[in-house]
Structure 1
Amino acid sequence: MYLDANNLYGWAMSQPLLYGFFHFLNEDEISHFELQKVESDAKEGYILEVDIEYLEHLHNKHNDYPLAPEHLLIEDKDLSKYSTDLWGKLNSVKNANGVEKVIPRI
């Protein structure tokens, strides 16, 4: 199994930080809550406590595996401009100046 788990700390530190105004939703708010309508980059977020049924015979098998992984094929269009630009520099002799910054870190 391959999991891409690079720079998790850096990613976490670049996310908005919760800082206050915490409260539980009341019964009316809960009954009208629609998770699918919450934008991933909304200024107001939610922490959900959920109960799920997960077959017991799978518990040990999935101990170190995410519960709901996705199998995605990453295409060039999914990469940031920096990533595609860097790949081009690594495969090009004429752009050696940019590669000098990268080589010590490889």
Structure 2
Amino acid sequence: MKAPKILPWIAHKTGISEELALKLWRRAAGEAEIIAGCCNSSDFYRLAVERFIDFAEAEGTSSVVRQTAGTRSCISWLWRHQNRISKLNMITLENIMRLGLSNWTGMFPGPHHPA
């Protein structure tokens, strides 16, 4: 699997070389493949990026942190938050589809077959 385009940015922010970042990415991708079972799923990519960010922050001289208005925000937190938001969109869509289906079957009941 190709390394993510964010790899050089994370390497720079954590203070590690791009070569080390690539090694950490390969390690994270290998672990994610073992956990997810295949390398073509969205779970695999999510796990691989999360593991890579964790490895880069652990290995680097500084974490992927920046100061904003007196608070500290971490890129790994941001990545996980974005993942939660995208899952909420899918849950909302699923609930809307269920509501529509229940309304449709309530308006047009199927034929009743006596037992």
TM-score for the superposition, normalised by structure 1: 0.28
Higher strand proportion: 2
Higher helix share: 2
**TM-score, structure 2 normalization:** 0.27
Q: Structure with the greater relative contact order (CA < 8 A, sep ≥ 6): 1 or 2?
A: 2
